[in-house]
Structure formats: structure tokens, C-alpha cells
Structure 1
Amino acid sequence: MNWYTLTVEEIFDELDGGPDGLDPETAEKRRERVGPNEITGDSGRSPLRIFLAQFERALIWVLLVAAVLSFAIGHVVDAVLIGIILLLNGVFGFVQEYRAEQSLEALRDMASPTVTVRRDGTELEVDATDLVPGDIVLLGQGDVVPADGRLVASENLEVDEAPLTGESVPVEKTTGTVEAETPLAERKNAVYKGTNVTRGRGVAVVVETGMDTEMGEIATALIGAEDPRTPLQRDLDRLGRRLGIGVVALSALIVPLLLIGGKGVVQAGLTAVSLAVAAVPEGLPAVVTLTLALGVRRMADENALVRTLPAVEALGAVDVVCTDKTGTLTEGEMRVQTAWVSDTAVDVGSDDGIGADGDVTDRLDQLFEIGAVCNDATAEEGDPTERALVAAAADHGIDVEARRESRSRRDEVPFSSERKRMATIHDDVVYVKGAPAVVLERSSRVLGPDGPVDLDEKARADIEAQVESFAEDALRVLGFAYKDRSDDGGPEENLVFVGLQGLLDPPRPEVRDAIADTHRAGIEVKMITGDNAATARAIAADIGIESAVLTGQEVEELDDETLRERVEEVDVYARAEPTHKVRILRALQANGAAVAMTGDGVNDAPALKNADVGIAMGIRGTDVAKQASDIVLLDDNYTSIRTAIQRGRTIFDNIWKFVAYLLSANAAEVAIVFLASLFGYLILPAVQLLWINLLTDGLPALALGTDPGGDVMQREPREQATGIIDRDMLGFVGGAGLIATVLLLGLMFYTLDGAASVTPYAMTMVFTGLVVFEFVKLYVVRWTRETPVLTNPWLGVAVAASLLLQLAVLYTPLNEYFGTVPLDIADWGVLGAVLLLGTPALLLVGWLIRRHAAGERAATSPRRASDSPDAKVD
């Protein structure tokens, strides 16, 4: 029901209540019927749920099947090794995500614990959860509104609704009715659960409680929302399914062929298991998880707390960032931006006029004194606008407390929405501040360079023009005046008009550069705010977002198809409500965009939950927003988003390198085992293949995850449809796999020297040759992605350690378990010759891929063909 459209009497009739409130018995019965006044829902992921989530990928299930098959045919060591890999992968992922979840555990109930309520004509304190529709609640400065209510009485009441609407300025509240189509941010006769009273007093009749409140509706939307799969999760699932199908197809082909060729069932089974082990990159899930975990640790040091590991890579893949304004792009606090005194406007943030000698400084001193003394706030507490006036006076060099003591207050006429001004009466003077038109109307003189002069029509027109100019810059403008008490007339008549102060919630100083960087990276930035269109347009232009403005009401009037067209053109949205933000998000996603949503308020939570990556503010952010997000910025700084995007892109680059590295190794292993089996040789048994995968997929692959980023922020975002296994990777996997297969099959036949069955010597040569070939390929795959050779000392350490482990299975008693024999110097010479033949061919494959990748990066993304990022930055 649109309660805000009804009169107070109609609401009392609807709720069977009255101005004296409900009687206790009625209230208790009603509470039993409607339930407690609290927000319920998902309290977070349980430890068991987090742990089981680590095993939901298709690739993990393929590995589980390989482990079961290995155990079934008696290869217990192989099965145990696969099991250990899977367990470690689960533990690594669990530890990281559980830590993030624990760090965000906080009370999400934003209502005050107790509230003053009138029941049966008596005022008493009750628990906020006991409120029911029909209760009469009393509100005062500093209170948190405990439920949605319709105002019965209001005395200078202002409410900060930023957590719900995104509106940066407290809203004045009245008791009249408003139209049905009035947006939430403009319903001045209603108060909402979870918002804060910043000024005045009010009485409200409760109309909705618990999950029926505006905040409750948001919580309901969150409960029903599912976390979208990240590009990396989708790619790994797709890879797992394809590998599973490939293993089954290869086994179905090779087993009959071997049986027809006269091989026994055991030999055919061993070959099938070897193919399965060769096809599956056992280390891939663990290496991906550990690489993401390393990224999480670095991002935490850079003030970004990651709640789910895949979100790291997903952030690097986004091509649109939808961001709230208040507290995210702006500082979240009102500031005096500009002051004006008789023909002179000065930027409060600069040295022009402020602190200078002469009459301008004297008049500015008078202006700022009025703002500080005709004021009930301190620098830390009170109405945000009044706090800003105190801060401006202090920045001007005024000792606010000393001035207030010297101008002791004898009386005051408080501000009200009807009067639109405040006056304080002192021993010899009256100070007035308020809406410029109201103050100007009561002024007969203006303070000029040589003192007060008559306020003629030209002077009035000049002041009105200045007010209009400030308003065009989206500034909230206040007028200031004084009067000697000895002058004729009442305390607010025949005033001397001193000047104006223009206030704004200013952009963070570093935001413009951060947005320019994201634009250069091919990422669109869309600002979605609850503020009015003029403020939104001015702030957007100031931070480098040039765009038409679309209001929430206009979004509501568009059908889905038209909205999909408009979101490609519009980057600034004003007066947006939660439903509008989700519609904008879904329209962008329907157009193929990967969207990151940043925000801090309750109103941001549904969009954070449904976005590809939800980014909440850690300081100003509500607990609801944090619980709905994937990443929490610990410093609320937009530059941390830019850094996080760079980190995500770097991580994707590193994942690309070791996925290409691992898959090319597995492609070579499958091809060697398959082709050798056609000649009747089981050249690489499962235990050796597992060792190769552990050795090459372990430390060296993990070291790739520590590679520093290159020019990742100079590239367009990758296309989602392409996935991590793109054309370049397929080219590298195919080319490197083919080179390894040809060289090592040649080595096999050379070392077999016509033998009818595989000898331990031939097996050892092929086994060791594949290992050392992989170490050479490590450096080639890095060169392919334009990573400087000497920037990762950990890679050299990893290769050295892996080589020592390989030597251990050749020259220690471990060779008994691996079926290997020691090699002499001549054998190593043969292996060196193989590497000399293969390395130039590998470099040729890498060079071709580098050329293709450079051409791809030079092309503009289809989504941005008509929207150059450079144009936006300028």
C-alpha cells in the first residue's frame, strides 16, 4: 500500500489505531500475527558449505573418476597422489574464503535496539523488534528509524536517507500527503527503517515492519539472488567437461584396438588409465586456487578484501563498472566549495581570496563567522551542512569556540522547513542564515568593500544571478546576513546581506585519474546515484564522465528493449532506486557486458549480489552491502578499484600462461601415450605421468602465478564468449604439443633401437626428456605473453628445485617405484640435442601468437566501437 498518499486519519482507520497508540493487548496480538520487526535471511555461508564449494567444478569430478579407476586396477599410489592433490586444493580454497567470510561477520540489523513508543497514551521504551503496524513512535536527533512510518508530526525534522536512497543531503520531513508516483527519495512524509535522524523531532505511525519494510524488500531480493558464475569458473567447468568426454572417447577407442592387436585386458586397462592421467592436468585446480590466493593476499595489502577467490580474476574481466556516487566517488561529507561576498567569488579550496589582505578577507571573515556562530553543530557532530560551515570557518582561520564565546547566544529562532532560515540573537547583533531568496527578501542593505550600502535592484539581481550560477554547478547555496540590534524593526528585518556559501559533497581528489585509467583500459564507468539530476551531472563532469543523465523515473518508463539501447549511451543515472539499479545492471548484462557494481548502501545490495563482481565499501558500507558483495574495499577509495582491476587482469594473464603451459604438456602426453600404444608400447605408465604433472604443474606453474603485470591496463577487456582457452592458447597448446610429440616419439624409437617391448632405459629417456622440455617451455610461454625474462626470481628457484626432484627419481632408490634407471653423460647429451632442436620451433610458435595477440589488442571492442575511452577521458 502507498501509505504516503493517505492522510493520517485514513491511516489510523486502516490500522485501527490513533494518536495515543495501540493498547498493549492489541500490540501483542498484532506482533504474534505479523512477527518480529527484524530483517531475516541468509546469515552467511557455513564452513561446510564453503569447503564443499571447492569441489563443485567439473574438472574436480574428472580427477575423482581418475582416482577411482586407478585404485580399481591396483594403482594405489596413483590414486593416493590424486586424492592428496584434490584435498590440498579444497583446503587452500577453504582457508582463503573462510577467512574472508569471518572478517565480515557483523550484525546486519540496522534498527536501534530500543525505541520510544506511545501506547495507550503512555510513552515507554520498548525493544525495536516488538514494534507493530499502528504503533506511535517518537523520533529525535541521533535516533535510527526503527520501522517504516508515516509522519504524524514533524518539528524541523531531517533524516539522512543515504543508506537507503543514496541521497547525500539529509531530507526535510513534513506531514502532508504526496502523489503516488513520487519516488522514494522525495516522499517527505515518510520515514524508513535503518535511516538516521540528523535534526529535529518527529512522531510517526508505524505502517510496515520487518521484511515488509523497504529494507526488508531489499533483503528478500538478496535471498532469492544467485551468485553469477565467473568467467574463470565457467572456463574451468567447460574444460573439465571436455576433458571428461575426451578421456572416455580415447579409452573407448584405444582399449578395443589393443585387444584386437593381441594385448591383454590388464595392458589395455593400464593404457586407458595412463591416457586418463595424461589428459587431466591434476595440478590445474590447485595452481589456480593458489594463484588466486596469492592475489587475494596482495589485494588485502592494497585495501581490497576478497570474499570469493574467483572474484579476483572476474574483476579483471569486467568491461563496465557501475558505481554509486556518495562516499564512493565523493568524500561522503558536505564541504563548502565556494564563497561569495559582494562582486567577489572565491574558491574555498584555493588560496585566492582566502587568507589574502584587504577588504575581501574582512568580509569573508564576517561571512564565515555567521556560518559558525548561527549554528548548532560541531566539527564532528550535528547536521552535515552545519558541520561543513564550521569546518569552512576553521579552515579560514577562525577559532570557532572562541567566536561563539565572544558572541554568547541570548536567544534563537530555529530553522524549519516552512521558515527556511535560522536566526541567533546575541548581545549586540543578530545572525541569520538560510535559503538565499528568503534571506535576501529580508535584507535592505548589502555589505560592500566600504561597509553596508543600500540593496538596490541591480545588487539584488547580481546576487540572484550568483545564486543561479552556484545552483548550475549543483551546489547547495546558503545566504548569510546580520543586523545590529540597535537598528529598527524585528530581529529578522532590515538585514545586511553579507554573502553566499556554496556547498557540495566533493569528489575524491584521486577519483578523476582513477576513472581515466579505467577508461583507458577500455572499461566504461557508469555513475548511479539517488541525488538529483543537476548534482549528478555536475559531479560526473568533474570526475571525467561526460554523458546525458537518465533519471530513475525515466528508467521505470522504458521497456527492457529500449533500456538495453539507452544503457549503451548513458553513463549517469540520477534519482535511482534499488529496482532501477538492478534493471540497469541486467540491461548491461543482456548486452554482453561483464559488470562490476560498487556501492555502500542498503540500496546497493541487490545489484551487488546480481553483478558479475560486487564491490562494497568497507568503512561507509552497510553490513548488508558487505554480505552481498564479492570484494570489500577496506579504505573506500576508488583508486583501490583501479588497482584491483589491474591485479585481476595480471592474475588472468598468469592463469593464461600456466593453463597454456599445463594443457600443452598434457596434449603432448596424450599424443605420445596414444601413438606409442598403437605400436604396442606403453612408454609412459600412469605413475610417471603423475610425477611429470606434479613436477611441472607444481612449483614452476605456481611460480608463474607470481609474475608481475605488464601492459594489462592498456588492453581492451577480453571478450567473455572467448574464455580463457582462446585461439592464442589453442595455437600454443597445439604447436607446443606437436613439437614435443614429434621430438619425444623420435627419441623413443631411437632409444628402443628396434626392441619389441619398452625397456626401462627408453622409458627413462622419454620420461626425463619430457620433463626438461617442459622447463624450457616455461620461459617461452612467458615470452609469448610479453613478460620480461628476468622479472621473476621465484621461477628460477622453482625450476632448480624441480630438476633436483627429477634427479632424485633417477639416482636414488626412488627409481624402483618409478621404473627408471640412472642416465650417464652421453644420455644427457642426447637430451640436450633434443632441446636444441625443439627450442627454435617453440620460439616460432610463440612469435606467431605474439603477432596475433598484438593485432587483437589494436582492434576496438565491438561494445565500444562508437564510444572511444579516450574521448571520455578528455
Structure 2
Amino acid sequence: TDKEAFEKKEKFGLNKLKEGKKTTKLEILASQFKSLIIWILIAATIISFFIGETVDAIVILILVLVNAVIGFVQEYNADKSIDALKKLMNLKAVIKRNGKTIEINSEQLVPGDLILLEEGMKVPADIRLIEAISLETQEASLTGESLPVQKKTIELVKGTPLAERTNMVFSGTVISKGKGKGIVVSTGMQTEIGKIAGMLQEQKEPQTLLQTKLAFMSKWIAVATIIICVIVFLSQVLLHLTSMTPEKTSDAFMLAVSLAVAAIPEGLPAIVTISLALGIQRMVKKKSLIRRLPAVETLGSVDVICTDKTGTLTKNEMTVREIYFSSQKIEVTGEGYNTKGKFLSGKEPVDLSMILNAGVLCNNSILEEKEMIGDPTELSLLVAGEKAGIKKEKLELIYPRTGEIPFSSERKLMTTIHLHKNQKISFSKGAPDVILELCTKIFEKGEIRQITFGDKEKIKEMNEEMAEKSMRVLGFAFKEENVEKEEQMIFLGLQAMNDPPRKEVKYSLELCRQAGIKVIMITGDYLGTAKAIAKELGLG
């Protein structure tokens, strides 16, 4: 009820990640004066003014103010841009309260809320599932695993590792397939992603190498200036020891002070700030926001980069790379969800429409120009179809769907039933060994014939070869009679996909090598998959 929700909101707070103390405009401005060399320049300004060097005092003061203004404007604008991006990330959630289904801002969720989960939505909290219909989630943002995770409602033992909690969906992950219901169990900083954010906030921000060196240099400038001034003053006093008057003492002091002011590098802070600001502007052009000026310099001090694999080195977009059809292996070019690509075969050209049609029709995902919803594996099949000019929405007009046997972990396959020329036809996809066992015939070179033991051995051999390259392999089949039963089907072929490396990564890695930077890949993926990606990128 609303009353219970209000009480829990008072107890647990809003469902959002806590931010560190927000920096005010005054604090951003004050931070520009924290450097020791800035304080030395301020002292030089005051001294210059008192000894009558008004022009010098004004010049030094202008340099200090220019330095502060540039730093303030840059950091304030970065803060505003980051805040604007956060506002765009506001999520909605459909829940049941007071016996009614309502949509609320995800920040208003509290533990105990019954939430409805739909394909394509971003999970707004940690949720214990009570209903899961073909439900799969994309958990790359939390675990680094590029393949979707199938969810169930079964009870698990206490202490089950995060990646194996199949009865939970977690904040920040995405529903890639199916639908379900669940009870919110954790919100805000109590979620798994919130715990990670909390650990990050506990880390104190160390000074950058440039800040450390400038502070060290400032101390030495201050110490050296004082020592030299004392030496100059004492030498003047000793030279005129016998004829020393108050006027000569004052002159000696003024000479020492003038020397101190002259020894201070007034333009250094402004030069450093302008250089860093120019660096930030170059980064902005490359679509990288930097909140603090010294962070730019930190990049220049890096000699080891530890990088995530999924979504960083790779696109986090499954892509069909190879097809086995009509006794031929076909290589598929292109990457990610880009629908431009070619089908390359060393033998005579082969019509792939039958196996590509199966991948497009036996599919619940949506691929549009501005919208991609669903399982990454299914999206890769739609992209493969579009590379051959096969669009799902047009193909479904020719093959309208009349039924579906959803995927289950027990059967390891999925079947959709369609109507074509007043006749029913079914298409199935699933684990290659399962599909193969259910087939009694094979479609090859436009004809249907009995499948032989030799055919099966060749298909198994191709499946193993593709799997050794750390690709996910799916088998495809169809049926034209008694289509509701998944038996005595006609084998079509195999499609193998993986999460390919980003096109620009190889060049970036080469730049890192030239700069003497070692790159280390960190992933929770299978060892074979990690090794294959590393080999393709030239890592290790």
C-alpha cells in the first residue's frame, strides 16, 4: 500500500545511488587556490605592492586570476554536463500497489514492491523472481559475461555466488528476453551495483603526478628563495658593516625582497592550467568528459592499463561469423549490429536464404534503425539476415507466425510455427546436438534427402571446430508436416557467433605498445573465449 511504501522509503531512502558531497561553485573556485605555488604568487603580489612595484603586483594578480577562471569554468562546465547526462538516465517501473498496476519513477521503489518485468527494460533494483517466462538478462555491466543468463524461480542455498543466482535479477542489468514478476529486495546503495559504488566512494582521490611534482617544486622554490634572500641581505649588511645605516639596511632588505619576487615563475600556473584545459578540449572532441583538470595529466603517467573485455575491447554485440550450410562453410564479414557485410565461400556461391530465413523467423527480438530489443544471440541472427536483404517485418508478411513452442533449458531448443501458401511450416533453433538428434532428413543444395551417418559426423566435426574458436553455435531445422511435434525434422545447418573485438581496438593497442603501456585484459568469461579474443587482438 502507499502507507507501507512511505514507511519503507523513510527507512531505506530513495532507490538511487548516493553521490559524494556535491561540490558547490564556491568550492570549485576555492580549489583553484589550493596549490602552494599559487599562495607563493599571492604573497609575491602583496610584497610587490608594499615595496612600490605596483605594475608587477597587478601583472602577477592577473595571472593568478586568469589561472583560477580557466580552471573554474572548465570544471564547472564538466560538472553541469555530467549532471545533465544523469537526468537523461531516469528510469520508470511498472508495479502493483493498492491492488492496482501503476507506473512510477524508479527512485520511488521500495523493498517489498511487486514489479513487472518486460523484454528490453533496464532492471531498476535487485529483485527476487516469483515468475519467469523464458526470462533472460544481459548482466555484462555487473559480471562482464557477454552471453545472456537464463532466469528461474527456484530456491537457492545461502551464499550462492552472484553469477549463479539465477532466481534474481540485478539493478543495472537488462531484460534481453521474456517476461516475469518479482519482489524488490534491495534498493539504492543496498543493491549489488550500489555496493560497488560504495566501495568506489570510499577510495580517497590521490594527488596526480603533476600535482605532486608541482608541490615539490613549489616547496623548493620557496625554500631556495628564502635562503638566497637571506644570503643576499646578509652579504649586503656585511659589505657595508662599518658604514651601515637604517637607510642602507632598508635598501638591502628591499633588494632581497625584489630578488625573491623576480625568482618566482609567475607564468607557470597559468601555462600549466591552459595546457591542461587544451587537453580537456581535445578529449571532449573525442566524446570524453573530464571533471577535473589534473586528470588529463594522469593519462600521460599511465604505464599499465587493466581493461574489461565485454563492451570495452569487444562490442558487447553478438555477431554471426560463420555459417555451415549445404556442406559448405561460409564466412560472414561485418561486426556488431551493423547490417553491412558479405558472405564469403571458397567454393561456388550458395543460396543461404533458407537458413537465414530460419534464423530470422524463429526469433523474438526486434531490430530496427533506432531500436534493438532482445537477446544478443537472436539480434545477431536478424543482422545476418539483413546482410542478405532479409528483413523480419517483411518476411513475417510472407510467413505469418501462428504459434510458438518457447525455448526451455530442458529441451534446449525453440520452435515457431508459420503459415506459408496456406500450408503450415515450422522453424527450430537450438543446441546443435539436440537439433541433429531430432532430424531424419537434410536440406542440401535446394533438395531434401535422408540424413546419413556421414552427414551427422561432418556436422558434429564442424560444430566442434566452431566451438574451439570460442563461438556460440546454433543448429537450425524446419518441418512441413505435423509441425507441432519437434521430431523427424529437416536439418538446415549451423550458425556460429561471438562478441567480436571493436574495429578500433587493434590500432589503440598498437598505440599503447608504442607508448610503452602494457595492456591487461580482465574478464569473467570462459578461459577459451578470453584467449581467442586476446589472440585476435594480438594481446599476450
- Tell me if 1:382 matches 2:373: yes
* 1:448 equivalent among 444, 447, 467: 444
CA contact (8 A) 2:75 2:293 kept: yes
Structure-2 change in CA distance of 1:409 and 1:204 (3 Å): same
Return the alpha-carbon distance in structure 1 between the equivalents of residues 529 and 44 of structure 2: 61
Structure-2 change in CA distance of 1:504 and 1:229 (3 Å): same
Deviation at 1:75, TM superposition (A): 3.2
SS in structure 1 at match of 2:312? coil
CA contact (8 A) 2:426 2:483 kept: no
Code of the aligned partner of 2:207 = R
| 1:216-365 equivalent positions in 2, closer than 5 A | 216-262=194-240, 264-349=248-333, 354=344, 361-362=350-351, 364-365=352-353
Code of the aligned partner of 1:413 = I
CA contact (8 A) 1:111 1:194 kept: no
* 1:149 equivalent among 117, 127, 133: 127
Deviation at 1:126, TM superposition (A): 4.3
Return the alpha-carbon distance in structure 1 between the equivalents of residues 105 and 359 of structure 2: 39
Code of the aligned partner of 1:469 = E
* 1:98 equivalent among 76, 98, 101: 76
Structure-2 change in CA distance of 1:301 and 1:121 (3 Å): closer
Deviation at 1:258, TM superposition (A): 1.8
SS in structure 1 at match of 2:367? coil
* 1:459 equivalent among 443, 455, 458: 455
Deviation at 1:416, TM superposition (A): 3.3
Code of the aligned partner of 1:462 = K
Structure-2 change in CA distance of 1:432 and 1:508 (3 Å): same
Deviation at 1:231, TM superposition (A): 1.5
Q: TM-score, normalised by structure 2?
A: 0.88
Deviation at 1:239, TM superposition (A): 0.4
| 1:296-695 equivalent positions in 2, closer than 5 A | 296-349=280-333, 354=344, 361-362=350-351, 364-380=352-368, 381-383=372-374, 384-427=376-419, 428=423, 429-449=425-445, 451-485=447-481, 490-546=484-540
SS in structure 2 at match of 1:287? helix
- 1:775 is aligned to none
Q: Deviations over 1:310-342 (max 9, x none)?
A: 222321221112222233222232211111125
Return the alpha-carbon distance in structure 1 between the equivalents of residues 297 and 121 of structure 2: 42
* 1:135 equivalent among 113, 119, 126: 113
Deviation at 1:401, TM superposition (A): 3.5
Return the alpha-carbon distance in structure 2 between the equivalents of residues 457 and 502 of structure 1: 22
- 2:166 is aligned to 188
CA contact (8 A) 2:478 2:492 kept: yes
- Tell me if 1:202 matches 2:202: no
Q: Deviations over 1:72-128 (max 9, x none)?
A: 334333322221211111112222222333222235379864433345765444443
Sequence identity (%): 41
Code of the aligned partner of 2:492 = V
CA contact (8 A) 2:417 2:483 kept: no
Structure-2 change in CA distance of 1:99 and 1:28 (3 Å): closer
SS in structure 1 at match of 2:411? coil
SS in structure 2 at match of 1:385? helix
Bigger proportion of residues as strand:
2
Deviation at 1:498, TM superposition (A): 0.8
Code of the aligned partner of 2:198 = T
- Tell me if 1:59 matches 2:30: no
Deviation at 1:57, TM superposition (A): 1.4
Structure-2 change in CA distance of 1:338 and 1:181 (3 Å): farther
Return the alpha-carbon distance in structure 2 between the equivalents of residues 510 and 131 of structure 1: 40
Deviation at 1:160, TM superposition (A): 2.1
- 1:867 is aligned to none
- 2:338 is aligned to none
Structure-2 change in CA distance of 1:515 and 1:345 (3 Å): same
Deviation at 1:271, TM superposition (A): 1.7
Q: Deviations over 1:245-302 (max 9, x none)?
A: 1112222322223223225222122122122123211111111111222333334334
* 1:211 equivalent among 185, 189, 210: 189
Deviation at 1:135, TM superposition (A): 2.7
CA contact (8 A) 1:70 1:76 kept: yes
When the two chains are superposed, the root-mean-square deviation of aligned CA atoms in Å is: 2.7
SS in structure 1 at match of 2:363? coil
SS in structure 2 at match of 1:83? helix
SS in structure 2 at match of 1:104? helix
SS in structure 2 at match of 1:269? helix
Code of the aligned partner of 2:350 = T
CA contact (8 A) 1:336 1:348 kept: yes
SS in structure 2 at match of 1:142? coil
SS in structure 2 at match of 1:326? helix
Farther-moved stretch of structure 1 (168-177 vs 181-190): 181-190
Code of the aligned partner of 2:308 = D
- 1:721 is aligned to none
Deviation at 1:374, TM superposition (A): 1.5
Return the alpha-carbon distance in structure 2 between the equivalents of residues 543 and 188 of structure 1: 32
Deviation at 1:182, TM superposition (A): 4.6
SS in structure 2 at match of 1:509? coil
Structure-2 change in CA distance of 1:44 and 1:168 (3 Å): farther
* 2:10 equivalent among 27, 32, 39: 32
Structure-2 change in CA distance of 1:175 and 1:500 (3 Å): same
| 1:36-51 equivalent positions in 2, closer than 5 A | 36-42=14-20, 45-51=23-29
Return the alpha-carbon distance in structure 1 between the equivalents of residues 87 and 158 of structure 2: 29
Return the alpha-carbon distance in structure 2 between the equivalents of residues 524 and 289 of structure 1: 29
SS in structure 2 at match of 1:481? strand
Which is greater in Rg?
1
Structure-2 change in CA distance of 1:501 and 1:54 (3 Å): same
Deviation at 1:213, TM superposition (A): 0.9
SS in structure 1 at match of 2:15? coil
Return the alpha-carbon distance in structure 1 between the equivalents of residues 411 and 251 of structure 2: 95
Deviation at 1:535, TM superposition (A): 2.3
CA contact (8 A) 2:329 2:345 kept: no
Instruction: Give aligned pairs, total.
Output: 520
Code of the aligned partner of 1:370 = A
- 1:661 is aligned to none
Structure-2 change in CA distance of 1:305 and 1:125 (3 Å): closer
Unmatched 5+ residue regions in structure 1?
Answer: 1-22, 547-874
Q: Deviations over 1:502-538 (max 9, x none)?
A: 1112112232132122113211111223433332221
Return the alpha-carbon distance in structure 1 between the equivalents of residues 101 and 277 of structure 2: 55
Structure-2 change in CA distance of 1:146 and 1:96 (3 Å): closer
Return the alpha-carbon distance in structure 1 between the equivalents of residues 108 and 446 of structure 2: 63
- 2:337 is aligned to none
CA contact (8 A) 1:445 1:494 kept: yes
Q: TM-score, normalised by structure 1?
A: 0.56
